[in-house]
Amino acid sequence: PQLIHTGAVVQQQASIKIGEGSVVCACSVITTDVLIGKHVLINLGCTIGHDVTIGDFTSVMPGAHISGNVTIGKAVLVGSGAVILNGVRVGDQAVIGAGAVVTRDVPEGMVVAGVPARPLVNKH
């Protein structure tokens, strides 16, 4: 089953799909037209904007903010306090460093950090 804390806000429940085994922690907000895959962690105090897709096995750490129309691939790690701006695509197995501000697409397997986020290494 999915686990959604009673302190989380799921605004437009009819337009939000949350996969099996996923967890949404307290103080997180999920807006509208959101698709969250299987076994995804939305940690404490995260915001998920409109028209967002989050792939299976992704972890969004505390205080991260994902803007509208963002696509996040499978097995991605979004670090604490990171911000992903509108329209960005994040490839499978990418890592977004804590506090990073992602303004551009992140390729599969890329590790990015900083403000604005810049590539550090490609895991592939």
| Catalytic positions | 50
Range list of H helices, 66-121: none
Q: How far is residue 68's CA from residue 50's CA, in Å, rounded to a whole number?
A: 5
Peptide bond preceding 119 in cis form (omega within 30 of 0) = no
In whole angstroms, give the CA distance from residue 41 to residue 28: 11
